[in-house]
Amino acid sequence: MTEDARFEDGREAPLNIGALDADDLRVIASLTQDAVFPASEMRWDRKGARFALLLNRVRWEDAGKERHAPERVQSLLVFDTVQQVASQGVTKGDADTILSLLSIGFDETDAPSGQVTLTLAGDGAIRLSVEALEVTLRDVTRPYAAPSGKLPRHDD
């Protein structure tokens, strides 16, 4: 005998995923595409070798987006084993400057070390020199309706 689906079976849980290689990172990159965050919400803990962003990402994985307005959720994007951070076109620490994450890439230099590049809208970029690729993405709030009421548009 088969059982009907229950409401509880359809719930969506917050994301809590990690990446240890370039393929895994592509998944995180797709989930964080078009995320926005104030420049004041990025931190590098030099002693702890950790770089973190508190961002508002689009819930691209939302299975119910046809039934309701697009949603965003606050998430922590954390990179471990970070040895050096460099940026271009980024105003650090300014709460009024809102940055938009376009993509994340990884170039291995001396396995497992490499460079992670976070490409931002407006020609900005953040480059992280890492000892090894170790990334986590974790939702930290409940989803909320995107203030624009729309998904970001891509002109390809």
pLDDT one-digit tens code per residue, 81-140:
999 999 998 877 777 899 999 999 999 999 999 999 999 998 899 999 999 999 999 999
For the chain, give the mean pLDDT.
Answer: 89
Question: Model's pTM, two decimal places?
Answer: 0.88
**Cis status of the peptide bond prior to 112, with omega within 30 of 0:** yes
Contact status, residue 139 vs residue 74, Cβ threshold 8 Å:
yes
Q: What six digits make up the tokens of 2?
A: 């088969």
Tell me what the mean pLDDT of segment 25-52 comes to.
96
